[in-house]
Structure 1
Amino acid sequence: MTSVLHLSDPHFGTEQPAVVDALVGLVRACQPELVLLGGDITQRARSAQFAAARRFVDRLAVPTLVVPGNHDIPLFNIVARLLDPYGNYRRAFGPDREPVYSSDTLLAIGVDSTRPQRHKNGYVSSRQIERVARLLDGARPGQLRIVLMHHPLVAAVESDQVNLAGGRENAMRVWSQAGADLLLGGHIHLPYVAPLPARINQQGTWAVQAGTAVSQRIRGGVPNSVNIIDWAPERTRASVCRVQRWDYLVSANSFVPAAEHELALSRQAWRVAEPDPLGVALGYH
């Protein structure tokens, strides 16, 4: 069994210490193979905020794959935004804004969807789409294939259409065709799980959104939350991964299970060598 913890939008500078401690406790309890941190690490990209985020990641003592969000680029420091927009990010988390993690059961690919000139709006370029597709094409059969970025590709409510990343139609089509299982995002502080649009969903790919992990900036009464993704490759017609949302419960001062989705991964790569005469994938949700 492989376990991955997906969090986004901690917005250090607006973090709640009790929630931070509770999240550290959750990570230590479940011991995931990997933590995925999907951007908006800080509130205003200040060095002290990045230092606090770095201390948090170090406390987890688990491999962590990090990508930036739009809040990780200076807003009011115009000189830094123009000349070195990722300077403080780089000093805290290194120069690679599109890291990759690979193990026998997991492939996680980071994508930097931020653009300093676009303020809060995100974009995925053709070059980025091709890079991710090449990595997916080279994945091993037993790997769960995850793409992590900050800006969402699929909206659950109409008002969030304006927050979707530019270039998303091509990205979803190409990455689904290349075998992506999960496309992870954040940015809008609203957790949900949704299939990609049917017109471009080539392989049963799912969009998984995280809420805000530890910030005071919760949305519409939705509490602080993270996702835990469990995956155990099965040598049957289809494999299934479980996405479980954990919400922070004030009365318990801890994260507790709040919702669960079982997602069928219907790509041919998960099937046994013999052809499936029915061509049927198991579906759960």
Structure 2
Amino acid sequence: MHLADIHFGAADPRILDAAARYIKQIAPHAVVVSGDLTQSGKRREFDAARHWLRGLGLPCACTPGNHDTPMFQLHHRVLNPFGRYEKYLSEFSFPLRMGNIRIDGLNTARGWQARRNWAEGSVDLEDLDGILQRDAAEDIRLLSCHHPFIPPTDTPLQTATRR
């Protein structure tokens, strides 16, 4: 199952409970979350996300999104943007392997960037090369990231992912 933009801290608990029940009902092999697990990158939001993911009882892997950096502590956002993410969610790291499928995660979010829209993504080419050069016995390889490489054309907010 693939999820994104859960936004713990702003998410309706009833919807989170319904989603967890549905996930357990359909019993996927794993859950992949492509960023924005939190609303503001607060410790309590990360703790809630970790608790919810653990409660699924399934293999889970996550990549961070732009909301997973400390929104209100700019010094942390610039100097250590993913410190809290790594502290709370490191157990849900990639790669995720299931039979002949391998899923890797690529962080396209940035804590700070010299762009007007901080919600836009950027690919670190060294990180991408590292993923692509890894030997993988699996026949199918998937990549999870928060920002689209090609944005949908019919959305009101157009964004661009660099590189």
Q: TM-score, normalised by structure 2?
A: 0.87
The number of equivalent residue pairs is 159
- Of the two, which has the highest radius of gyration? 1
Q: Could you give the per-residue CA deviations for residues 18-65 of structure 1, whole angstroms, max 9, x where no partner exists?
A: 111111111111221110011000000000111111111011010101
Task: Write the deviation string for residues 99-127 of structure 1: whole angstroms up to 9, x where unpaired.
Answer: 21123221001000111122322111221
Letter in 1 for 2:88: A
Correspondence for 1:122: 121
Which residue of structure 2 lines up, in the alignment, with residue 9 of structure 1? 5
Q: Is residue 112 from structure 1 mapped to residue 107 from structure 2 by the alignment?
A: yes
Partners of 1:8 and 1:102 in 2: CA distance = 19
Structure-to-structure mapping, 1:13-162, within 5 angstroms: 13-94=9-90, 99-118=94-113, 119-135=118-134, 138-140=135-137, 143-159=139-155, 162=158
Q: Is the 8 A contact 2:151 2:158 kept in 1?
A: no
State which drifts further: 36-45 or 110-119: 110-119
Structure 1 residue 139 displacement after superposition: 3.2
The structure whose residues are more often strand, as a share, is: 1
Q: Could you give the per-residue CA deviations for residues 50-109 of structure 1, whole angstroms, max 9, x where no partner exists?
A: 11111110110101011100000112211221232212212211288x621123221001
Task: Output the TM-score relative to the length of structure 1.
Answer: 0.52
Question: Alpha-carbon deviations, 1:112-151, whole Å to 9, x = none?
Answer: 011112232211122122122223xx3336x332100000
Mind listing any 5+ residue stretches in structure 1 that lack a counterpart? 168-285
Q: 1:95 to 1:81 in 2, by over 3 A?
A: farther
Q: Give distance in 1, aligned partners of 2:4 and 2:91.
A: 20
> What one-letter code is carried by the residue in structure 1 that aligns with 2:120?
N
Deviation digits for residues 142-188 of structure 1, max 9, x if unmatched? x3321000001122225568423111xxxxxxxxxxxxxxxxxxxxx
Contact (CA 8 Å) 2:38, 2:68: kept in 1 or not? yes
Distance across 2 between alignment mates of 1:127 and 1:42: 26
- Counterpart Cα distance in 2 of 1:78 and 1:156: 30
Shift of 1:9: 0.2
Larger % of helix: which?
2
Letter of the structure 2 residue corresponding to residue 152 of structure 1: P
Q: Distance in 2 between matches of 1:159 and 1:34?
A: 29
> What residue ranges of structure 2 are gaps of 5+ in the alignment?
none
